[in-house]
DNA sequence: GCTGGGTGGTGAATCGTTCCATTCTGGCAG
DNA sequence: CTGCCAGAATGGAACGATTCACCACCCAGC
């Protein structure tokens, strides 16, 4: 019971293998009568093309590789979604690899994709992969960087302007009448964190009567956010900021929870902090949970799935013509206002 | 600048292509001297095996397909993680397809995987795919059902006992002294919801002094949970349940938020509901956010990544020997107690 | 009746690896 | 010195779809 091949189809339809291939790949070149017989034969035999053979001949597969830092981060799942949608338009599929910030896994996926001769690779790199990507390119495998602006013009890249995002967030806080801003986040070694902070600095610098303090954290998690919240709660009320820009939504949610819990268990109502009355909070990423928080969170939204789509578009163009000039696409983030920063 | 093939390596190492292949696949069959020269040549030329050619020869690829209902659901990302880990042990990679409950997309991925001649398919089916899977099997592609017990013994399956999970949850509530239990969830058309409810019923049936009411929802989301929360808040306190079993963690979080908000904005403190003092809440799935909720949520944990691992193990066994008897593996869920159900 | 052009169809060569039957080599026993 | 053997290496036939140079046929035009 071997799977039928193109030869079996040809025999059954009483045409040559070439004709079957033409029906499949250049339908206009075949007479209607022959086409019909071939299609009937395919149907009857349950014939399915063997991708391996096609790829072998074609020299590369019709898949593109996507290497992300964290498959559980909604930002990346959205990017992946956009990439898939765009790829399927051109008949490509997407293979996703998850590195978990581990350079070994990153190298592993690059090896795998190279063996598979994918048409191109989309990657949010961890370490310095330019040499590796250069080698892929020599092999005819295009590469586009995601969420990291490229080193000069060696590779195209698609990213978001995190500095502008930081500015957007803090401008909004200031516009709603806040003056004592705190940035809560870390580690600053993460480019995104650093740039969001720079944006915040720029915004504050433009308004002489405002101040910016920093609460450094060692991670972008809910728990770290709570720690920071406890720390702020411990201060005398007069000493607290009146607005917080959190480096991402998870931290913002942690802060929110810390403030709420203090209010709920409330030894005295003075220990609680009301959001947004006492302190406004804005996060970053606009994850699904942001709108579902106890107090719906204002946030900075990134056009995640558009990023994926754009990256695929560029990738396929470059896969088609390797000599195309490389492009650096930078998207602008967008302010989403919800209850956590409503003016009093 | 064409990529070097095994022939180029052979020429450079001054051996035959067969020997190069042997170095790659049966290292013990080649003398150390030849091995060394071949490896050196591979290194110098930057040779990388062409998977397409290997697959063509082998008849099938060294990848397995994984078709999930919702890539954003942490349960499935965990399953995928487990599957990847287990697959990589045997040198297989995992291609993940996301159907979003859409039968067309499901069919699309099955087609794709069939063309790719994957070694096997792991699937959480939407509709009735047995006919389709049967055809894949005829082609030598094994299939294992995930999170859905198989139709009799035509296919192996790996799932979790949701009835037991429901029993576990409600037993725990009753053991902690609760008597008026409410099940909040829906739609009941989802097997998991229905079975969790059955478990709850069984548990209550075993304790004569307890009651079970149902609050039906149209989805498993935070927002639906809040709606349910508002509904319960609207009742006179004496009429409220003293414990809630939510069909999943998202609903539980929604309930929690509704109760907290009522307490916080509190026109009068009587409108608020304290968790767990007034009402205990237990969720299902034990997602990351459960432990990070304002009041850490008790929940029922499923061994998600173990499910993925087991499914891959079975799949690879069956891919190896199609005549193996099919197995139905059912895992038992586990109770995780946190603050939301602590006894008063 | 012959030529030229166009259409529809053919079949062999090709992609790069694997695998197997065959050949080669050197060592050793008789 | 010959014969034998095991281990090492070889060469070439697959795998299955694609592609391309080529052919057969038909019709129009002279």
Question: What average pLDDT does chain B have?
Answer: 90
> Measured between CB atoms, does B104 come within 8 Å of chain A?
no
Provide, in whole angstroms, the distance separating residue A107's CA from nucleotide D14's C1'.
Answer: 33
Nearest chain A Cα distance for residue B214, angstroms: 23
Contact between B115 and A48 using a beta-carbon 8 Å cutoff? yes
In chain A, beta strands by DSSP E = 63-68, 93-98, 120-123, 142-146, 156-160, 180-185, 211-216, 243-246, 280-282, 299-301, 328-331, 334-336
pLDDT tens profile B149-205 = 656 678 999 999 999 999 999 999 999 999 999 999 989 988 899 999 999 999 999
CA distance A134 to A140: 10
Query: Band of the pLDDT at B269, cuts 50, 70, 90?
Result: very low
Nearest chain B Cα distance for residue A52, angstroms: 5
Which pLDDT does position B268 carry in this prediction?
41
Residues of B whose CB is below 8 A from A223? 292
Which pLDDT does position A269 carry in this prediction?
47
Residue B251 CB partners (closer than 8 Å, separation 6+): B184, B185, B217, B220, B221, B222, B224, B225, B228, B283
pLDDT higher than 50, residue A312: yes
More confident residue, A245 or A191: A245
CA distance B185 to B60: 43
B-contacting residues of A 209-238, CB under 8 Å? 222-223, 226
Question: What average pLDDT does chain A have?
Answer: 91
Contact between A46 and B117 using a beta-carbon 8 Å cutoff? no
CA distance A336 to A288: 12
> Measured between CB atoms, does B107 come within 8 Å of chain A?
no
> Measured between CB atoms, does A247 come within 8 Å of chain B?
no
How large is the average pLDDT for residues B282-288?
A: 92
pLDDT higher than 70, residue A149: no
B96 touches strand D (CB under 7 A): no
User: Do residues A282 and A245 make contact, with C-beta atoms less than 8 angstroms apart?
Assistant: yes
Instruction: Closest CB to A77: pick one of B71, B115, B274.
Output: B71
Residues of A whose CB is below 8 A from B111? 48
pLDDT higher than 70, residue A254: yes
pLDDT higher than 90, residue A289: no
Which pLDDT does position B114 carry in this prediction?
94
Query: Band of the pLDDT at A151, cuts 50, 70, 90?
Result: low
Residue B159 CB partners (closer than 8 Å, separation 6+): B145, B146, B147, B148, B149, B307, B328, B329, B330, B331
> Residue A149 — φ and ψ, nearest 5°?
-70, 140
Which pLDDT does position B224 carry in this prediction?
94
Structure tokens at B319: 């891919």
How large is the average pLDDT for residues B293-319?
A: 94
Q: Which residues of B244-274 are buried (b: 16+ CB within 10 A; e: fewer)?
A: bbbbbbbbbbbbbbbbbbbbbeeeeeeebbe
Which pLDDT does position B54 carry in this prediction?
95
Going along chain B from its start, the domains and CATH numbers come out as: 6-49 (1.10.260.40), 60-160+304-331 (3.40.50.2300), 162-301 (3.40.50.2300)
Q: State the pairing for strand pair B142-146/B120-123.
A: parallel
| Residue of B43, B48, B52, B115 to mutate, testing the A interface (most A Cβ within 10 Å of its Cβ) | B52
B25 touches strand D (CB under 7 A): no
Structure tokens at A213: 């303090």
Which nucleotides of chain D does any protein CB come within 7 A of?
Answer: 7-12, 14-21
Q: Which residue is nearest nucleotide C20, judged by alpha carbon to C1' distance?
A: B18
pLDDT higher than 80, residue A303: yes
How large is the average pLDDT for residues A213-236?
A: 94
CA distance A140 to A188: 36
Contact between A294 and B294 using a beta-carbon 8 Å cutoff? yes
DSSP state of A271: G
B51 upstream amide cis, omega within 30 of 0: no
pLDDT higher than 50, residue B267: no
Query: Which of A8-22, B1-15, B316-330: highest mean pLDDT?
Result: A8-22
Query: Band of the pLDDT at B293, cuts 50, 70, 90?
Result: confident
Contact between A48 and B96 using a beta-carbon 8 Å cutoff? no
How large is the average pLDDT for residues B240-256?
A: 95
pLDDT higher than 70, residue A267: no
DSSP state of B294: S
Which pLDDT does position B152 carry in this prediction?
62
Contact between A46 and B140 using a beta-carbon 8 Å cutoff? no
B14 upstream amide cis, omega within 30 of 0: no
CA distance A309 to A87: 8
Which pLDDT does position B16 carry in this prediction?
92
Instruction: Closest CB to B55: pick one of A3, A52, A295.
Output: A52
pLDDT higher than 90, residue A3: no
How large is the average pLDDT for residues B203-221?
A: 95
CA distance A124 to A116: 19
| Residue of A60, A292, A340 to mutate, testing the B interface (most B Cβ within 10 Å of its Cβ) | A292
pLDDT tens profile B71-119 = 878 888 899 999 999 999 998 999 988 888 889 989 999 999 999 999 9
CA distance A291 to A301: 12
Provide, in whole angstroms, the distance separating residue A11's CA from nucleotide C20's C1'.
Answer: 30
Which pLDDT does position A159 carry in this prediction?
93
Query: Band of the pLDDT at B263, cuts 50, 70, 90?
Result: low
pLDDT tens profile A101-134 = 889 989 999 999 999 999 999 999 887 888 899 9
How large is the average pLDDT for residues A286-297?
A: 85
CA distance B143 to B318: 8
B187 upstream amide cis, omega within 30 of 0: yes
> Measured between CB atoms, does A53 come within 8 Å of chain B?
yes
Over pLDDT 70: what percentage of chain B? 96
User: Do residues A290 and A249 make contact, with C-beta atoms less than 8 angstroms apart?
Assistant: yes
Q: Name the closest residue on chain A to residue B113, using Cα atoms.
A: A51
Query: Which of A17-26, A68-77, B67-76: highest mean pLDDT?
Result: A17-26
A6 touches strand D (CB under 7 A): yes
């Amino acid at each position: 019971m071997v799977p039928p091949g193109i030869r079996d189809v040809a025999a059954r339809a009483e045409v040559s293998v070439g004709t079957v291939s033409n029906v499949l790949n250049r339908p206009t070149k075949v007479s209607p009568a022959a086409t019909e017989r071939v299609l009937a034969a395919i149907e009857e035999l349950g014939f399915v093309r063997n991708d391996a053979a096609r790829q072998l001949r074609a020299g590369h597969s019709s898949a593109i590789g996507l290497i992300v830092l964290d498959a559980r981060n909604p930002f990346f799942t959205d990017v992946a979604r956009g990439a898939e949608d765009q790829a399927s338009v051109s008949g490509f599929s997407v293979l996703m690899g998850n590195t978990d910030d581990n350079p070994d896994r990153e190298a592993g996926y690059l090896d795998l994709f190279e063996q598979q001769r994918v048409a191109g690779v989309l990657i949010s790199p961890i370490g310095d992969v330019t040499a590796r990507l250069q080698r892929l390119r020599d092999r005819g495998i295009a590469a586009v960087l995601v969420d990291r602006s490229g080193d000069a013009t060696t590779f195209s890249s698609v990213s978001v302007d995190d500095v502008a995002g930081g500015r957007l967030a803090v401008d909004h806080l200031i516009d709603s009448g806040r003056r004592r801003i705190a940035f809560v986040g870390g580690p600053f070694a993460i480019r995104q964190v650093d740039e969001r902070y720079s944006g915040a600095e720029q915004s504050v610098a433009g308004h002489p009567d405002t101040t910016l303090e920093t609460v450094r954290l060692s991670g972008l998690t809910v728990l770290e956010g709570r720690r920071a919240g406890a720390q702020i709660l411990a201060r005398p009320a007069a000493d607290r900021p009146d607005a917080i820009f959190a480096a991402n939504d998870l931290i913002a949610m942690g802060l929110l929870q810390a403030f709420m819990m203090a209010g709920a268990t409330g030894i005295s109502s003075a220990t609680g902090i009301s959001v947004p009355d006492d302190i406004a909070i804005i996060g970053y990423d606009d994850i699904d949970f942001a709108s579902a928080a106890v107090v719906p969170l204002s946030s900075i939204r990134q056009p995640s799935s558009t990023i994926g789509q754009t990256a695929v578009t560029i990738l396929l163009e470059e896969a088609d013509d390797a000599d195309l000039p490389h492009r650096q696409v930078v998207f602008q983030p967008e302010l989403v206002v919800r209850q956590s920063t409503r003016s009093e």
